[in-house]
Amino acid sequence: MTRNRKITLAAVAIALYLIGVPWLCAGRNYYLGVVTTASGLAVICAGVWLIFYIGRINIGQGAFALIGGYAAAIAVTKWGLSFWIAMPFAGLASMLVGMLIGLPLLRLKGVYFSMITLSLTETARLAAQSLKAVTNGPNGILNIPLPGELSIFGVTVIPDFATLNKHRALFYLGAVLLVVTYAVIHRVVNSRLGWLFRSLQQNEDLASSFGVNVPMLRVIAFAICTFFAGVGGAFFVVMQQSIYPATFAVQDSTYFLLYCFIGGLGFVFGPLVGTFILYMGFEVLQGFKEYQPLLYALLMIGVMLWLPNGLLSIRLPKFLPPKTPSRPASGGDI
Amino acid sequence: MGQVLMNGIYSGVQYSLIALGLTLIFSLMNVMNFAHGQLYVLGGFVTYYVYGIVGLPFAVALFAAAATLAAVGVLFDVLLFRRVLARSARDESTMLLASGSALLLDSLFIIFFGEKHRGVPPVAGGVLRIGQGIFLPYGRALIIALSVILIAAFILFMTYTRWGRGLRAMAQDRDAARLMGVNVARYSMLGWAIAALLAGLAGAMLVSVSGVNSGLGTWISIKAFIMVMIGGAGAIPGAIIGGLVLGMLESLGAHFMSGSQYLAIFVALIVFLAIRPRGLLGRQ
């Protein structure tokens, strides 16, 4: 496909999404809400995917979404900031924490990194519960207002959400975030940075010997990842107009892995596809709602047993980077 | 203060049991079992039914929990991990598989056991008084004694028996062990059985003091990871040290900074890992 055709195709897909979904869901706010939630989840998922891309497993994305969510909630309710400032602030706050924690922790390889990120999710929840002065403890922060008007030099760019159809306005906010996120990820992966990230995934030592600044690149990847988590968290906060310590739990962090995996790890839009298929699939199966964790778990185990490279990997093997066998023959002395 | 230390030892020896199983699987298979805490919870539930509901003696309940969990461990190996390990060379796959199993067990617990917190009648009444102002209920003393016996038995088993030697050989070098005539497939089953059994017994013992509920698994797994990260993955002495250190830190933290002790422990862990990424005794 030539570059122009790709751009046209993307533009058509985006236009169809922006016009088609609200048209299909007209008068059915519940379904519009489902699509909106899926797009928010896909934004957070993009970060998890990028960390997969440099060869690590981040099971702590829930923690960063929670940090972003609280940052936005506090900025809006306590400091009285506009949501349009609070959302990037949430992304930056989450990114800052991510970089601070990431600097030491990204040195840890494989299993160690995954263990510490998993612990991080639970720690974030406990922190939100115990730091009552900042987070209002287990009661959470409630009654977070909808985004207000955004105007530049007196010209209204985005009208106050309260004057609009709330569901439709949130859908468009989610859609814009989704498009921007995946455009950024696509750009990153198809740039020089993307080549460097792929070199990390394949062999960090070899990359380092060629003069690649491995620690720096890991932190860059983690910063992008946690920024998306923060923005996604802020989006959920304004959508649900509340946040609790349990808004993002370990289970959510595990789901993000599954979404990425179902979509395929070698493909930029994998997490997007995975999130939409899985999340919306479950809305279709209304009756099974209470068995959602069970079915997700079975799906996850089944995928690992029978389809270890994700759904899209069946059709698009050329997008998959070569796999390096990394399992050492020995486990060590005990 | 003596009481705080005593509480630390009490949690520490149980934590060591949990960490031992996790580190054993890691050193044998290079698999980090994210479902380890769920195995612990399952042990608790078996004891709850056998001892609490049916009313059989506590010793029988312990055996039932050990047998059930050993069987679950073998099933984990045969049905899941062996297949994925054979097909995939990347350790990501087994990590995702383990997270999936953790989610599976968690949701099965919710479906079959509900969300209620369940306790059983105490195994032994009365309180032991040690010196000045240190109280140790007999139930807890029993758990400390049992845990120490189990840890000692595990170490003796690994050091002096034929099976233990086989397991150690496999941990050092799987291929060399195979060449020396160790039946690697059978020994991985044995390793899984022992690891699950230790987690199950720890859960079975704890249910007699603090009860059990469906949501406990993830939290226990996380504690086990913290211990393994302190002690170093793949080292048996490391697991024991990690367990005792975490038990002590928790007890001290609860005493001095009640409420936010885990935040403090976690921050300390990050600083510690920045200095020693492989833990105290982890392999390089």
pLDDT at A312: 53
Asked if the model's pLDDT at residue A235 lies above 90, the reply is yes
Q: Which pLDDT band holds residue A328 (cuts at 50, 70, 90)? A: very low
State the pLDDT at residue A286.
66
Which residue out of B25, B194, B266, B280 would a mutagenesis test of the A interface target, given it has the greatest number of A Cβ atoms within 10 Å?
A: B266
Residues A122, B222: C-beta atoms closer than 8 Å: yes
- Chain B CB contacts of A301 under 8 Å are 80, 97, 100-101, 104
Contact A297 B236 (CB under 8 A): no
Which residue in chain A has the smallest CA separation from B257?
A130
> Percent of chain A at pLDDT above 90?
29
Answer yes or no: is pLDDT of A329 > 50: no
Which residues on A lie below 8 Å from B229 (Cβ)? 112, 115-116
Which tops the pLDDT comparison, A288 or A312?
A: A288
- The predicted structure's pLDDT at residue A297: 86
Separation of alpha carbons B263 and A127, rounded Å: 6
Mean pLDDT of chain A: 84
Nearest-Cα distance to chain A for B138, in Å, is 32
For chain B, give the DSSP string.
-HHHHHHHHHHHHHHHHHHHHHHHHHHHHS---TTHHHHHHHHHHHHIIIIIII---HHHHHHHHHHHHHHHHHHIIIIIIHHHHHH---HHHHHHHHHHHHHHHHHHHHHHH-S--B----SS-SEEEETTTEEEEHHHHHHHHHHHHHHHHHHHHHHHSHHHHHHHHHHH-HHHHHHTT--HHHHHHHHHHHHHHHHHHHHHHHHHHH-B-TTHHHHHHHHHHHHHHHH-TT-HHHHHHHHHHHHHHHHHHHHHSTTSHHHHHHHHHHHHHHH-TTTTT---
Select from B99, B234, B262 the Cβ nearest to the Cβ of A126.
B262
Q: Is A38 exposed, middle or buried (0-12, 13-18, 19+ CB in 10 A)?
A: buried
Please tell me the predicted confidence (pLDDT) of residue A167. Answer: 86
Asked which of A58-62, A97-101, B63-67, B115-119 is least confident by mean pLDDT, the reply is: B115-119
B257 within some domain: no
Instruction: Give every CB contact of residue A163 below 8 A, 6+ residues apart in sequence.
Output: none
Query: Are A110 and B91 in contact (CB < 8 Å)?
Result: yes
Chain A: give the shortest CA distance to residue B55, in Å: 31
SS (HEC) of B72-131: HHHHHHHHHHHHHHHHCCCHHHHHHHHHHHHHHHHHHHHHHHCCCCECCCCCCCCEEEEC
B149-169: pLDDT as tens digits:
999 999 999 999 999 999 998
Phi-psi region for residue B233, left (φ > 0), alpha (ψ -120 to 50) or beta?
A: beta
Is residue A326 predicted with pLDDT exceeding 60? no
Verify whether the Cβ–Cβ distance A331 to B101 is below 8 Å: no
Answer whether A308 sits within 8 Å of B262, measured CB to CB. no
User: What pLDDT, on a 0 to 100 scale, did the predictor assign at position A320?
Assistant: 47
Determine the average pLDDT of the residues in A268-287. Answer: 83
* Band (A313; pLDDT cuts 50, 70, 90): low
Q: Is the model's pLDDT at B36 over the cut of 70?
A: yes
pLDDT (0 to 100) of residue B66: 94
B131-139 mean pLDDT: 79
Q: Is residue B95 part of a domain?
A: yes
pLDDT band at residue B89 under the 50/70/90 scheme: low
The two tokens of residue A231 are: 């923005």
Is residue B253 a part of any domain in this protein?
Answer: no
Condensed to tens digits (0 to 9), the pLDDT of residues A78-132 reads 898 888 999 999 999 999 999 998 888 888 877 888 888 888 988 898 888 888 8
CA distance A17 to A11: 10
Residue B180 in contact with partner chain A when CB distance is under 8 A? no
- The pLDDT mean for chain B works out to 87
Q: Can you say whether residue A110 is alpha, beta or left, with left for phi > 0 and alpha for psi between -120 and 50 degrees?
A: left
- Residue B160 within any structural domain of the chain: yes
* Residue B182 maps to a domain: yes
Tell me if B261 is assigned to some domain: no
Tens-digit pLDDT profile for residues A11-35: 888 888 888 888 887 777 888 888 9
pLDDT at res. A333? 55
* CB count in 10 Å sphere of residue B102: 26
The sign of the dihedral angle between the CA atoms of B183, B185, B188, B189 is: negative
Cβ–Cβ below 8 Å for B32 and A115: yes
How many structural domains is chain B composed of?
1
Cβ contact A261:A300 at 8 Å? yes
Residue with tokens 């509901």: B53
* Runs of H (alpha helix) within A131-165: 132-135
Between residues A310 and B135, which one has the greater pLDDT?
B135
pLDDT at residue number A68: 95
pLDDT tier at B278, thresholds 50, 70, 90 = confident
Look at residue B16 and tell me whether its pLDDT is greater than 90.
yes
pLDDT score at A315: 47
pLDDT the model gives residue A224: 95
Cβ contacts of B167 on chain A, cutoff 8 Å? 334
B208 near B139, Cβ under 8 Å?
A: yes
Residues A333, B235: C-beta atoms closer than 8 Å: yes
Nearest neighbour of A326 by CB, restricted to B91, B236, B260: B91
Quick: pLDDT tens for B17-29: 999 999 999 888 8
Mean pLDDT in residue range B195-222 = 89
Name the residue range of residue B179's domain: 2-216
Residues A331, B172: C-beta atoms closer than 8 Å? yes
In this prediction, residue B130 carries a pLDDT of: 76
CB contact under 8 A, A327 and B89: yes
**Per-residue pLDDT at B50:** 92
Q: With beta carbons less than 8 A apart as the criterion, state whether A95 and A223 touch.
A: yes
